[in-house]
Amino acid sequence: MQAARLHAPGRMLVEDVPRPVPGPHDLLVRVEACGICGSDRHMFRGEYPTARPVTLGHEFSGIVEEAGAAVASVRVGTRISGDPNIACGRCALCRAGRPNLCAELSPIGVMRDGGFAEYVLVPEGQAAVLPGDLDPRHGAFCEPVSCCLHAIDTARIPRGGSVLILGGGVIGLLMVELALQAGAGTVVLATRQAPRRALAQALGAIAVDATRGDEAVLDLLPGGADVVLECAGVPATFLQSLRLARRGGTVVFFGVVPQDERVEVSPFELLTRELRLEAAWLNPLTHPRAAALIAGRALSLDRLITRTIELGEVPDVVGAAPALGEIKVVMVR
Protein backbone atom coordinates (compact mmCIF):
# COMPACT_ATOMS: atom_id res chain seq x y z
CA MET A 1 0.00 0.00 0.00
CA GLN A 2 1.01 3.66 -0.16
CA ALA A 3 1.63 5.84 2.87
CA ALA A 4 2.95 9.35 3.58
CA ARG A 5 5.97 8.76 5.82
CA LEU A 6 7.94 11.27 7.88
CA HIS A 7 11.64 10.33 7.78
CA ALA A 8 13.25 13.44 9.27
CA PRO A 9 12.30 17.06 9.93
CA GLY A 10 11.35 18.52 6.57
CA ARG A 11 11.45 15.14 4.77
CA MET A 12 8.13 13.41 4.14
CA LEU A 13 7.59 10.97 1.25
CA VAL A 14 4.72 8.97 -0.20
CA GLU A 15 6.08 5.46 -0.63
CA ASP A 16 5.12 1.82 -0.89
CA VAL A 17 5.05 -0.06 2.43
CA PRO A 18 3.63 -3.44 3.48
CA ARG A 19 -0.05 -3.45 4.29
CA PRO A 20 -0.41 -3.92 8.08
CA VAL A 21 -1.62 -7.27 9.42
CA PRO A 22 -4.14 -7.09 12.30
CA GLY A 23 -3.36 -8.83 15.56
CA PRO A 24 -6.05 -10.63 17.55
CA HIS A 25 -7.54 -7.42 18.98
CA ASP A 26 -6.94 -5.15 15.98
CA LEU A 27 -9.05 -3.76 13.18
CA LEU A 28 -7.62 -3.22 9.71
CA VAL A 29 -9.28 -0.01 8.55
CA ARG A 30 -9.40 1.20 4.95
CA VAL A 31 -8.89 4.94 5.35
CA GLU A 32 -11.59 7.08 3.78
CA ALA A 33 -10.61 10.46 5.20
CA CYS A 34 -7.82 11.91 7.33
CA GLY A 35 -7.57 15.53 8.45
CA ILE A 36 -4.39 17.58 8.46
CA CYS A 37 -3.74 18.97 11.94
CA GLY A 38 -1.47 21.76 13.08
CA SER A 39 0.38 19.11 15.08
CA ASP A 40 1.25 17.34 11.82
CA ARG A 41 2.98 20.52 10.71
CA HIS A 42 4.81 20.76 14.05
CA MET A 43 6.00 17.17 13.63
CA PHE A 44 7.08 17.84 10.06
CA ARG A 45 9.25 20.73 11.31
CA GLY A 46 10.67 18.75 14.23
CA GLU A 47 8.88 20.91 16.83
CA TYR A 48 6.95 18.03 18.39
CA PRO A 49 8.29 14.61 19.45
CA THR A 50 7.47 11.74 17.11
CA ALA A 51 8.82 8.40 16.01
CA ARG A 52 10.68 8.36 12.71
CA PRO A 53 10.13 7.00 10.20
CA VAL A 54 6.39 7.03 10.82
CA THR A 55 3.18 7.46 8.86
CA LEU A 56 1.54 10.63 10.13
CA GLY A 57 -2.22 11.24 10.37
CA HIS A 58 -4.18 10.95 13.62
CA GLU A 59 -7.58 12.36 12.55
CA PHE A 60 -9.08 9.58 10.46
CA SER A 61 -12.19 7.59 9.66
CA GLY A 62 -12.67 4.55 7.48
CA ILE A 63 -14.21 1.15 6.90
CA VAL A 64 -13.20 -1.99 8.80
CA GLU A 65 -11.97 -4.50 6.23
CA GLU A 66 -10.51 -7.13 8.55
CA ALA A 67 -10.94 -7.91 12.25
CA GLY A 68 -8.62 -9.89 14.48
CA ALA A 69 -9.74 -13.25 15.82
CA ALA A 70 -10.54 -11.85 19.29
CA VAL A 71 -12.52 -8.80 18.10
CA ALA A 72 -16.10 -9.00 19.38
CA SER A 73 -17.66 -5.52 19.23
CA VAL A 74 -16.98 -4.21 15.72
CA ARG A 75 -18.04 -5.92 12.51
CA VAL A 76 -16.28 -5.95 9.16
CA GLY A 77 -17.86 -3.33 6.90
CA THR A 78 -18.51 -0.86 9.74
CA ARG A 79 -17.46 2.78 9.41
CA ILE A 80 -15.40 3.86 12.41
CA SER A 81 -13.37 6.73 13.77
CA GLY A 82 -10.16 5.78 15.52
CA ASP A 83 -9.14 7.35 18.81
CA PRO A 84 -5.40 7.60 18.17
CA ASN A 85 -4.29 8.04 21.78
CA ILE A 86 -3.41 4.57 23.02
CA ALA A 87 -2.51 4.41 26.71
CA CYS A 88 -1.24 1.50 28.79
CA GLY A 89 -4.47 1.14 30.80
CA ARG A 90 -2.54 -0.06 33.86
CA CYS A 91 -0.75 2.89 35.44
CA ALA A 92 -2.18 5.08 38.22
CA LEU A 93 -3.11 7.86 35.79
CA CYS A 94 -4.92 5.49 33.45
CA ARG A 95 -6.80 3.97 36.38
CA ALA A 96 -7.73 7.48 37.54
CA GLY A 97 -9.35 8.27 34.19
CA ARG A 98 -6.46 10.37 32.89
CA PRO A 99 -5.03 8.22 30.07
CA ASN A 100 -3.91 11.34 28.19
CA LEU A 101 -1.14 11.68 30.80
CA CYS A 102 0.03 8.07 30.59
CA ALA A 103 3.83 7.90 30.39
CA GLU A 104 3.51 5.05 27.88
CA LEU A 105 1.10 6.87 25.57
CA SER A 106 1.64 5.66 22.00
CA PRO A 107 -0.54 7.70 19.64
CA ILE A 108 -1.44 6.49 16.16
CA GLY A 109 0.04 8.88 13.63
CA VAL A 110 2.71 10.04 16.07
CA MET A 111 4.48 7.06 17.63
CA ARG A 112 2.87 4.38 15.45
CA ASP A 113 1.73 4.45 11.84
CA GLY A 114 -1.33 6.57 11.16
CA GLY A 115 -3.99 7.54 8.68
CA PHE A 116 -2.11 9.19 5.81
CA ALA A 117 -2.16 5.79 4.15
CA GLU A 118 -4.45 3.38 2.39
CA TYR A 119 -4.89 1.31 5.58
CA VAL A 120 -4.30 1.79 9.30
CA LEU A 121 -4.43 -0.56 12.28
CA VAL A 122 -6.78 0.41 15.13
CA PRO A 123 -7.12 -1.57 18.38
CA GLU A 124 -10.74 -2.59 18.91
CA GLY A 125 -11.04 -0.53 22.08
CA GLN A 126 -9.99 2.64 20.21
CA ALA A 127 -12.79 2.44 17.63
CA ALA A 128 -16.00 4.49 17.71
CA VAL A 129 -18.71 3.22 15.38
CA LEU A 130 -20.19 5.82 13.01
CA PRO A 131 -23.37 5.75 10.92
CA GLY A 132 -23.05 4.14 7.52
CA ASP A 133 -24.48 7.23 5.82
CA LEU A 134 -22.18 9.72 7.56
CA ASP A 135 -19.83 11.75 5.38
CA PRO A 136 -16.42 10.16 6.13
CA ARG A 137 -14.86 13.64 6.13
CA HIS A 138 -17.05 14.40 9.14
CA GLY A 139 -15.82 11.21 10.80
CA ALA A 140 -12.29 12.57 10.56
CA PHE A 141 -13.33 15.40 12.92
CA CYS A 142 -13.93 13.03 15.85
CA GLU A 143 -10.39 13.36 17.21
CA PRO A 144 -10.16 17.18 17.16
CA VAL A 145 -13.69 17.50 18.53
CA SER A 146 -12.85 15.07 21.34
CA CYS A 147 -9.84 17.20 22.29
CA CYS A 148 -11.98 20.35 22.22
CA LEU A 149 -14.53 18.68 24.49
CA HIS A 150 -11.79 18.04 27.05
CA ALA A 151 -10.89 21.74 26.96
CA ILE A 152 -14.54 22.74 27.39
CA ASP A 153 -14.89 20.33 30.32
CA THR A 154 -11.71 21.73 31.88
CA ALA A 155 -12.90 25.34 31.49
CA ARG A 156 -16.08 24.82 33.55
CA ILE A 157 -17.83 27.64 31.70
CA PRO A 158 -20.30 29.44 33.98
CA ARG A 159 -23.88 29.42 32.72
CA GLY A 160 -24.37 32.63 30.75
CA GLY A 161 -20.70 33.54 31.16
CA SER A 162 -18.30 35.09 28.67
CA VAL A 163 -15.76 33.07 26.70
CA LEU A 164 -12.88 34.50 24.68
CA ILE A 165 -11.27 32.29 22.04
CA LEU A 166 -7.84 33.32 20.77
CA GLY A 167 -7.21 31.79 17.35
CA GLY A 168 -9.59 31.35 14.43
CA GLY A 169 -8.36 28.09 12.95
CA VAL A 170 -10.42 24.93 12.94
CA ILE A 171 -9.98 24.42 16.69
CA GLY A 172 -11.08 27.93 17.57
CA LEU A 173 -14.12 27.62 15.32
CA LEU A 174 -15.07 24.24 16.79
CA MET A 175 -14.77 25.81 20.24
CA VAL A 176 -17.35 28.46 19.29
CA GLU A 177 -20.16 25.96 18.89
CA LEU A 178 -19.04 23.77 21.79
CA ALA A 179 -18.80 26.75 24.17
CA LEU A 180 -22.30 27.88 23.21
CA GLN A 181 -23.62 24.34 23.69
CA ALA A 182 -21.93 24.31 27.12
CA GLY A 183 -23.94 27.35 28.21
CA ALA A 184 -21.80 30.38 27.40
CA GLY A 185 -23.81 33.56 27.07
CA THR A 186 -21.24 35.46 25.00
CA VAL A 187 -18.46 34.01 22.85
CA VAL A 188 -15.84 36.32 21.37
CA LEU A 189 -13.32 35.00 18.86
CA ALA A 190 -10.19 36.96 17.94
CA THR A 191 -8.42 36.22 14.67
CA ARG A 192 -6.51 38.18 12.05
CA GLN A 193 -8.24 36.76 8.98
CA ALA A 194 -11.50 38.36 7.82
CA PRO A 195 -12.94 35.14 6.28
CA ARG A 196 -12.49 33.36 9.59
CA ARG A 197 -14.16 36.22 11.44
CA ALA A 198 -17.13 35.99 9.10
CA LEU A 199 -17.44 32.26 9.72
CA ALA A 200 -17.13 32.70 13.49
CA GLN A 201 -20.01 35.17 13.38
CA ALA A 202 -22.09 32.73 11.34
CA LEU A 203 -21.45 30.12 14.03
CA GLY A 204 -22.69 32.43 16.80
CA ALA A 205 -19.61 34.29 18.02
CA ILE A 206 -18.74 37.97 18.11
CA ALA A 207 -15.61 38.15 15.95
CA VAL A 208 -12.88 40.76 16.42
CA ASP A 209 -9.74 41.61 14.49
CA ALA A 210 -6.76 40.29 16.45
CA THR A 211 -4.49 42.89 14.87
CA ARG A 212 -6.22 45.49 17.08
CA GLY A 213 -4.69 43.84 20.14
CA ASP A 214 -6.23 43.68 23.60
CA GLU A 215 -8.42 46.75 22.99
CA ALA A 216 -10.59 44.88 20.48
CA VAL A 217 -11.62 42.43 23.21
CA LEU A 218 -11.80 44.83 26.15
CA ASP A 219 -14.16 47.10 24.24
CA LEU A 220 -16.62 44.18 24.28
CA LEU A 221 -15.68 42.58 27.61
CA PRO A 222 -14.55 45.32 30.01
CA GLY A 223 -12.41 43.70 32.66
CA GLY A 224 -11.87 40.58 30.57
CA ALA A 225 -13.58 37.25 29.96
CA ASP A 226 -14.76 34.66 32.46
CA VAL A 227 -12.94 32.01 30.41
CA VAL A 228 -10.15 32.39 27.86
CA LEU A 229 -9.40 29.48 25.51
CA GLU A 230 -5.95 29.86 23.98
CA CYS A 231 -6.16 28.03 20.64
CA ALA A 232 -3.42 29.64 18.56
CA GLY A 233 -0.39 27.97 20.11
CA VAL A 234 2.03 30.89 19.90
CA PRO A 235 3.83 32.68 22.76
CA ALA A 236 2.14 36.03 22.04
CA THR A 237 -1.38 34.66 22.48
CA PHE A 238 -0.27 32.61 25.49
CA LEU A 239 0.66 35.86 27.22
CA GLN A 240 -2.36 37.71 25.84
CA SER A 241 -4.69 35.11 27.32
CA LEU A 242 -3.41 35.97 30.79
CA ARG A 243 -4.05 39.66 30.24
CA LEU A 244 -7.58 39.17 28.91
CA ALA A 245 -8.99 36.94 31.63
CA ARG A 246 -11.01 38.82 34.24
CA ARG A 247 -9.97 38.81 37.88
CA GLY A 248 -10.82 35.38 39.21
CA GLY A 249 -11.20 34.06 35.67
CA THR A 250 -9.95 30.91 33.99
CA VAL A 251 -7.42 30.42 31.22
CA VAL A 252 -7.23 27.11 29.37
CA PHE A 253 -4.11 26.54 27.31
CA PHE A 254 -4.95 24.35 24.33
CA GLY A 255 -2.80 25.45 21.39
CA VAL A 256 0.44 23.50 20.92
CA VAL A 257 3.38 25.86 21.36
CA PRO A 258 6.67 24.48 19.92
CA GLN A 259 8.41 22.52 22.67
CA ASP A 260 11.48 24.78 22.86
CA GLU A 261 9.57 28.06 23.26
CA ARG A 262 9.66 29.94 26.58
CA VAL A 263 7.67 32.90 27.93
CA GLU A 264 8.02 35.17 30.96
CA VAL A 265 5.08 35.70 33.31
CA SER A 266 4.58 37.63 36.52
CA PRO A 267 3.73 35.27 39.41
CA PHE A 268 2.65 38.28 41.48
CA GLU A 269 0.09 39.29 38.86
CA LEU A 270 -1.28 35.75 38.63
CA LEU A 271 -1.51 35.61 42.41
CA THR A 272 -3.22 38.95 42.99
CA ARG A 273 -5.71 38.40 40.14
CA GLU A 274 -6.25 34.81 41.32
CA LEU A 275 -6.36 33.40 37.82
CA ARG A 276 -7.10 29.72 37.39
CA LEU A 277 -4.63 28.38 34.83
CA GLU A 278 -5.44 25.06 33.19
CA ALA A 279 -4.09 23.01 30.31
CA ALA A 280 -6.15 20.66 28.18
CA TRP A 281 -4.09 17.89 26.61
CA LEU A 282 -5.58 15.41 24.14
CA ASN A 283 -8.89 13.62 24.72
CA PRO A 284 -9.21 11.59 27.91
CA LEU A 285 -12.38 9.48 27.52
CA THR A 286 -14.08 12.06 25.28
CA HIS A 287 -13.80 10.34 21.89
CA PRO A 288 -17.15 8.50 22.20
CA ARG A 289 -18.89 11.79 23.05
CA ALA A 290 -17.33 13.45 20.01
CA ALA A 291 -18.43 10.57 17.78
CA ALA A 292 -21.98 10.85 19.16
CA LEU A 293 -22.10 14.60 18.48
CA ILE A 294 -20.87 14.11 14.94
CA ALA A 295 -23.16 11.15 14.32
CA GLY A 296 -26.04 13.35 15.49
CA ARG A 297 -25.05 16.14 13.08
CA ALA A 298 -24.74 18.56 16.01
CA LEU A 299 -21.83 20.57 14.55
CA SER A 300 -21.46 22.67 11.37
CA LEU A 301 -18.58 20.69 9.91
CA ASP A 302 -19.11 21.32 6.19
CA ARG A 303 -18.36 25.01 6.74
CA LEU A 304 -14.96 24.12 8.20
CA ILE A 305 -13.68 21.98 5.31
CA THR A 306 -11.68 24.30 3.07
CA ARG A 307 -10.57 21.69 0.55
CA THR A 308 -9.92 18.01 0.03
CA ILE A 309 -6.71 16.48 -1.29
CA GLU A 310 -5.38 13.10 -2.35
CA LEU A 311 -2.76 11.02 -0.54
CA GLY A 312 -0.02 12.06 -2.95
CA GLU A 313 -0.53 15.73 -2.03
CA VAL A 314 -0.11 15.23 1.72
CA PRO A 315 3.65 15.94 2.02
CA ASP A 316 3.38 19.25 0.17
CA VAL A 317 0.38 20.41 2.20
CA VAL A 318 1.81 19.33 5.57
CA GLY A 319 5.13 20.95 4.70
CA ALA A 320 3.58 24.30 3.80
CA ALA A 321 2.10 27.02 5.97
CA PRO A 322 -1.72 27.15 5.91
CA ALA A 323 -3.00 29.08 2.93
CA LEU A 324 -4.85 32.34 3.49
CA GLY A 325 -8.41 31.47 4.49
CA GLU A 326 -7.59 27.80 5.05
CA ILE A 327 -9.47 26.17 7.89
CA LYS A 328 -9.43 22.39 7.43
CA VAL A 329 -7.78 20.32 4.72
CA VAL A 330 -8.88 16.69 4.58
CA MET A 331 -7.25 13.89 2.64
CA VAL A 332 -9.89 11.67 1.05
CA ARG A 333 -9.60 8.33 -0.73
| Cβ burial 150-164 (10 Å sphere, 16+ → b, else e) | bbbbbbebbeebbbb
**Model confidence over 163-182: pLDDT tens digits?**
999 999 999 999 999 999 99
Eight-state DSSP code of residue 330: E
pLDDT value of residue 148: 98
Q: What is the DSSP string of 211-278?
A: GGTHHHHHTTSTT-EEEEEE-S-SHHHHHHHHHHEEEEEEEEE-S---TT------HHHHHHHT-EEE
Length of the chain: 333
Within the chain, all domains assigned CATH 3.90.180.10 are found at 2-141+301-332
Buried b vs exposed e over 173-199: b needs ≥16 C-beta within 10 Å?
Answer: bbbbbbbbebebebbbbbbebeebbeb
Contact (CB, 8 A) for 45 and 91: no
What single-letter amino acid sits at 130? Answer: L
Looking at residue 323, its pLDDT comes to: 87
SS3 172: helix
Q: Tens-of-pLDDT digits for all 333 residues of the chain?
A: 999 999 999 999 999 999 999 999 999 999 999 999 999 999 999 999 999 999 999 999 999 999 999 999 999 999 999 999 999 999 999 999 999 999 999 999 999 999 999 999 999 999 999 999 999 999 999 999 999 999 999 999 999 999 999 999 999 999 999 999 999 999 999 999 999 999 999 999 999 999 999 999 999 999 999 999 999 999 999 999 999 999 999 999 999 998 889 999 999 999 999 999 999 999 999 999 999 999 999 999 999 999 999 999 999 999 999 988 899 999 999
Q: Would you state the pLDDT for residue 259?
A: 87
2-141+301-332 adopts what CATH topology? Quinone Oxidoreductase; Chain A, domain 1 (3.90.180)
Q: Which residues make up the CATH 3.40.50.720 domain(s) of the chain?
A: 149-279
Phi, psi (5° rounding) for residue 146? Answer: -60, -40
**pLDDT for res 8:** 98
pLDDT in the model for residue 325: 87
Classify each residue of 213-235 as buried b or exposed e, where b means 16 or more C-beta atoms within 10 Å of its C-beta.
eeebbeeebeebbbbbbbbbbbe
pLDDT of 324 reads 86
Distance of CA 242 to the CA centre of its chain: 22
CATH class of 149-279: alpha beta
The stretches of the chain forming alpha helices (DSSP H) are 38-44, 92-95, 136-139, 142-155, 170-181, 194-202, 214-218, 235-244, 267-273, 287-295, 314-318
